[in-house]
Amino acid sequence: MPVVRGKQIEVLYSASAIAQRNLELAKEIAARDYHDLLVISVLKGSFIFAADLIRAMHDAGISPEVEFIMISSYGAGQTSGEIRVLRDIDNAVAGRDLILIDDILESGKTLKYTRDLMLSRGARSVSVVVLLDKHSRRQAAVEADFVGFECPDHFVVGYGMDVAHAFRELPFVGIVTGDA
């Protein structure tokens, strides 16, 4: 079991399993009839997933524009709080097909807020792709159009995701199981 920062990490999704799934997701996205596609990476947690997925999209023959939005709904801990836009996108979205890229869909509050914001700005469509879906935790009325993996109800780290700002650099997704 990998040990990072003195903690044992149980690997849930390996780097190769994620890479394989990203190719499949990109093909699913390519099979849709999107026009003038703009993908929006929801920072910070999605930055590694987005970087890998847009290159898989290139391999699948799609050429999207890429934007970034930073939404805050969580503090340094693990509880959901107030939702705010910390850093907005620069592009107009009216009439365009958008895909929001996020790491995890949990309560759904973050993605529902972001999707509704983009629809209120006149986006033609707003789809959602997430690496992980913690379906059992859903509170808001939002579903992902593309899901990498159905995730068990554990707090996960790695591949962009953090606990208290740590572990984002891990190339896999795992669970902190205890001290090494």
Q: Taken in order 78, 81, 87, 93, is the CA torsion positive or negative?
A: positive
45 binds Mg ion (CB under 5 A): yes
Size of the site for ligand IMP (CB under 6 A): 16
Contact positions with ligand IMP (CB under 6 A) in 29-68: 45
Contacts of 31 (CB under 8 A, 6+ apart): none
Instruction: Write each residue from 117 to 156 as x if it is in contact with ligand IMP (CB under 6 A), else as -, in one continuous string.
Output: --------------------------------------xx
- Partner whose binding site includes residue 156, from ligand IMP, Mg ion, none (CB under 5 to 8 Å by kind): ligand IMP
The reply to whether omega before 7 is within 30° of 0 (cis) is no
- Partner whose binding site includes residue 95, from ligand IMP, Mg ion, none (CB under 5 to 8 Å by kind): none
Burial of 11 from C-beta contacts in 10 A (0-12 / 13-18 / 19+): middle
- Partner whose binding site includes residue 107, from ligand IMP, Mg ion, none (CB under 5 to 8 Å by kind): ligand IMP
Q: Using the minimum distance from each CB to ligand IMP, give the nearer residue, 63 or 79.
A: 79
Query: What's the rounded Cα separation, in Å, for the pair 62 and 155?
Result: 33
**Residue 17 near residue 76 (C-beta atoms within 8 A):** no
105 binds ligand IMP (CB under 6 A): yes
